[in-house]
Amino acid sequence: MTSQITRLEDDDVTRSSEAEPELNQTKLRCLQVPGTPQYESKNPNSSRDAVLPEYPTGKNLCPLRVTHFMKHRQIHGDKKVAGICQEKLGTAVTSASSSGCRLQLGQDGKSMTLTFNEESDIEPIRCNATWLRHNCHCPSCKQTHSGQKLFEPHELQASYKLKSAELRGEELVLRWHGGKAEEDHEGSVPLQFLMHSLYSDAKIQKMAEDRTPLTVKGRCPSVTFEEISESDEGLFKWLHCLNEYGMCVVREVPTREGMVKEAAEKIWSIQQTIYGELFDVVSTPKPINVAYSDAKLGFHMDLAYYESPPGLQFLHCLKFDDCVEGGDSLLVDAWHVAEQLKTSHPEHFETLARVPATLQKIHFDREKPVYMKYQRPHIACNPRGDVIAVHWAPSFEGPLCVPEEDIEPYYAAYHKFAEMIELSETKVQFRLEEGDLLSFNNRRMLHARDAFVLNGGMRHLQGCYVNIDEFQSRVEVIKRRIGSEKLTRRVMNACWS
């Protein structure tokens, strides 16, 4: 029988210039706790032989282009590379050395184009003059240590023109005309900043493609607690799985209370909620949440009634006696299902992206009474139509409060989406072992649990949350620290990029 928790064996997270390692069946190993059976998939739509998809081979080109340009400068020298452009407004001018780059002002001064020589593979950079003014890095516009802007928006003009542009060292020195002499300004913009912040249509499209998540069908990747504790490279394995696939099991975590916090804080501080800092998932006589019982839990995200629901969720298995029947954990990739709905049933997708559901937690019979209610559609998209958020928690839905003409279309779409979730090929089902810590992106992965019977035994999980934005920050920081070029995927926090 095949476990649905899979360990990545040869994932070299430290490679910065080599091709991404190919993953195949020979490089995957199902982990099994000695003395316990492995569990076969209970999802009829999942293949027993499903493997993790290959890691992406695309690269984040911006840092590479900066490096390439700086190397080019070291070879040819600043003087040969420095292109100088200075002329009256209304005239397109070009001035550059034969082997360097060239600066060109637009005819109306509203834009500037930086073109590199034929030996370089760097595409021309075209920047709007007003955009450049708002991103001036001179000491009067931007504080060096904090990186924060020092000017107020109303202090700038609505539109600017460039009077001149000059490449000095590793930055552009620019002079802007704001309409009046007292509104003119001279400042600078670093080349590296331009490379990272380039906003061309091509780059926006490329960034959207690079941020599209990948999906694991039928298996959950895993790492060990020792790996994530001993080095930044090991920690990044965990972070990368969470970012790339939305889930990961950390194996061999010591089975004592509070270890879930110790593990989670390797990413960031714990997020406080109405359930406190840590919460214990055990069956109780009068539960304040259905999770604190032995009942079945359908697919949902936690705390969907928050304006900003928790990002990462951690569930550490402290006790799961062999005599306990049931209690399997299940996960489904909500992003994947929403994208499928968009393709197969666009009318239902449009409805769920438009009509607001009511998500609520109203509970007065508890130590700290709670009244929380939030209305929003189940699916959120950016202007390109990419799914950037899913909000799904049927157990915490209040009465639908929408115009009558939306009620029937809403429930038709609601039913279809729920059906697709249950039948999704991304469904993963497994029984946690003592010492396993299930971690997943609560904004992307819906989780569920089978009902269980204790039979005199015990099932005890301890959990906590980490904010999604702080998680994404940690991914970027550790990625840069170890020199990884792995792509950072969309984390479903409703960010438009």
- Kindly report, residue by residue over 308-333, the tens digit of the pLDDT: 999 999 999 999 999 999 999 999 99
Q: Which pLDDT score is estimated for 4? A: 72
pLDDT at 16 over 90: no
Q: Which residue has the tokens 């939306």?
A: 406
pLDDT at 368 over 50: yes
Q: Once rounded to an integer, what is the mean pLDDT over residues 95-123?
A: 75
Q: Which pLDDT score is estimated for 100? A: 65
pLDDT at 71 over 70: no
Q: What angle, rounded to 10 degrees, do the helices at 404-422 and 334-344 form? A: 120
Rounded Cα distance, 438 and 328, in Å:
12
Which residues, listed in sequence order, are joined to residue 370 by a DSSP beta bridge? Answer: 363
Phi, psi of 139 (to 5 degrees): -60, -25
Q: Which pLDDT score is estimated for 323? A: 97
- Kindly report, residue by residue over 21-40, the tens digit of the pLDDT: 333 322 222 232 233 233 33
- Kindly report, residue by residue over 246-258, the tens digit of the pLDDT: 999 999 999 999 9
Q: Kindly list the distances between the CA atom of residue 474 and the CA atoms of 58, 175, 239, 263, 442, in Å, as whole numbers in the listed order.
A: 21, 37, 8, 14, 17
CATH code assigned to 61-204: 3.30.2020.30
Hey, how many other C-beta atoms are within 10 angstroms of the C-beta on 48?
11
Under the banding of pLDDT at 50, 70 and 90, the label for residue 469 is very high
Contacts of 344 (CB under 8 A, 6+ apart): none
Q: What is the token pair recorded at 306?
A: 């928050």
Q: Which pLDDT score is estimated for 181? A: 67
Pick the CATH number of 5-56+214-482 from 2.60.120.560, 1.10.10.10, 3.30.300.10, 3.60.130.10: 3.60.130.10
- Kindly report, residue by residue over 413-445, the tens digit of the pLDDT: 999 999 999 999 999 999 999 999 999 999 999
Q: Which pLDDT score is estimated for 22? A: 33
Which residues, listed in sequence order, are joined to residue 440 by a DSSP beta bridge? Answer: 247, 313
| Percent of the chain at pLDDT exceeding 90 | 62
Q: Once rounded to an integer, what is the mean pLDDT over residues 116-122?
A: 75
- The full set of domain ranges for the chain reads 5-56+214-482, 61-204
